[in-house]
Amino acid sequence: MARVFDPINRAAEERYLFRLIIPAFPAFNIYSGVAKATTALGPVCVATAANELERWDVEVIDENNYRQFGPKDGQGRPDHADLQRLRPADVVGFYGGLSSTVPRLYELAGLYTKWGVPTIAGGQHFVGENIEEALRSGVDVVVLGEGEEAIKELLLARQEGRDVSSVDGIAFLDGGRVVQTPERALMTCFGKYPLPDFALVRNARFKLYPVGWVRGCGMDCEFCTVKGKVRAAPPERAVAQIAQLLETRNARHFFIVDDLFGQRRTDALRFCALVADYQQTVRTRLDITVQIRLDKATDAELLQAMRRAGINTVAIGFESPIEEELRAMNKKLKPERMLDLTRLYHKAGFLIHGMFIFGYPMPDGVEFRMPTAQRVKRFRRFIRKGHIDTVQVLLPVPLPGTELTRRLQTHGRIFPRDVLGWEYYDGNFPLIEPDPPVTPEEMQKAIRQIMGRFYRFRSMFKIGLNVLVFPAMLFFLHNVKVGWRIWYRSWRNDLWRFAGWIIIRRWTREFNKGVFSRKLRDARQRLGPGKKPGALANNPA
């Protein structure tokens, strides 16, 4: 087997540098603002594991949160030529968790390859044909699956100039042929790894810190990339992460990144009890957001424990208010029941962030037609009735490796990727031929109509009005907590709705200056109205 990494000629006392890069979004989008205040947890975990190696220094560069002191290029992104001149990296890694950032990933991989630096990439994007695409786009090694152990073995191979074929769970080219080593076993003993070290993320500023303690998800949704056996660290580990961040970085705002909070109920209750006790002991209050299933609203004990723990916001995947679409997604709830459960979350005192998918494609054999205007009305009515505090409406994305993607590929409904590239895979652009009578252009306009009606300029005036009515809290002196909750929800929601209006306005301006509309016309023409089932439309770029 060919040796992939050459040895580093370095004196015994000298150290090496591993740089892990989170590539920038291709353009301004609805995530840009939040991305400037946080980072992805996975790369930090991998970097922290690599930092245990005796002779390696490690740094993370998050191009979306790069705001302090670092050299920048003309677009305000990291200037990697200057970075490499100031701190020459011996190996560079790339986070491929978001398909929309892959073009930037390949751009940087080619740049570092030109400079003679070995490159490694990992993340959920790299499945199937995407593995070979990466290996022919400047990436030397692709890590398949979890990377904490693989990265340490690869860095030692680089240090010593060893053959990497003994490293499990990777892919590389040998003589122009893709070689995949045996699959690496899933991590189960999380306690042997250090807590994520956010100090490794250079040139960044944080307000929201990601925390995780459960990997995998047992729901097996057709459109989702998070799959596999549910594995969890003890709740004490998650509490230790929060305590460390509070005590070393004065962190107050946390996002539990686990796909479904509460899917291990006993552990979730213990976590909540431990976090509540910790806050009482150190006399502070934290603000925590979690992702959770709608049907957990019936678990009164869990909801009470969550509130005591400082979990103030729940992010819920409503997906759709249209019953036929819910059945297509294998959701067991009807829209009326969803509204009932939403009211239970509100009654318990939670802020609700609702996540929706507009225009979900029906499976084979299901005849369902609804005009775009009627769909938009259904979404607006549901959001209004549910009093949802903040909303996010995206289009269906044929993400790599999902059942939805395989189904749409079979019927030739995915627009050719050599026309609509990976940079559009962020949920804001139509990438598939929708069910009639809806058109791709209508789909994209619809999500702007829904969110544009929700996030309004007039909310700016209501922000000031809420300040003026603050003295009305005097009427709640018998229960200040309830009065504060009512006032704060109104003030906070108006603030977010005005901020959302600014984001949508800027995104629309950037979209109008772009070339997507022309590319969409080309893609639809290439796909053709007469495509037959079985034709593969998702041609590689």
> Residue 169's pLDDT is what?
96
CB count, 10 Å around CB of 265?
A: 12
* pLDDT band at residue 217 under the 50/70/90 scheme: confident
What six digits make up the tokens of 248? 């070393």
> Residue 295's pLDDT is what?
93
> Mean of the pLDDT values across residues 290-305?
96
Shortest CA distance to 409 belongs to which of 219, 13, 136, 417?
417
Residue range 423-447, pLDDT digits in tens = 999 999 999 999 999 999 999 999 9
Q: List CB contacts of 303: < 8 A, sequence separation 6 or more.
A: 296, 297, 344, 345, 348, 350
> Residue 225's pLDDT is what?
80
> Residue 468's pLDDT is what?
56
Exposed / middle / buried, residue 283 (Cβ in 10 Å: 0-12, 13-18, 19+): exposed
Q: What is the DSSP string of 454-495?
A: HS-TTHHHHHHHHHHTGGGGGGGGGGHHHHHHHHHHHHHHHH
Contact 128, 400 (CB under 8 A): yes
Report percent pLDDT > 70 for the chain: 92
CB count, 10 Å around CB of 76?
A: 11
Contact 415, 431 (CB under 8 A): yes
> Mean of the pLDDT values across residues 392-408?
93
> Mean of the pLDDT values across residues 142-170?
94
> Residue 66's pLDDT is what?
96
Tokens 């678990």 sit on residue: 299
Helix (H, G, I), strand (E, B) or coil at 160: helix
Peptide bond between residue 43 and the one before it cis (omega within 30 degrees of 0): no
**Mean pLDDT, the chain, whole residue set:** 90
> Residue 530's pLDDT is what?
44
Shortest CA distance to 292 belongs to which of 249, 338, 352, 375?
352
> Residue 529's pLDDT is what?
58
Contact 144, 171 (CB under 8 A): yes
Shortest CA distance to 200 belongs to which of 43, 380, 338?
43
> Mean of the pLDDT values across residues 7-22?
86
Domains and CATH numbers, the chain: 16-180 (3.40.50.280), 190-406+442-454 (3.20.20.70)
> Mean of the pLDDT values across residues 370-398?
96
Residue range 219-235, pLDDT digits in tens = 778 888 877 788 889 99
Residue range 443-479, pLDDT digits in tens = 999 999 999 999 998 888 777 666 555 555 455 555 5
> Mean of the pLDDT values across residues 308-334?
92
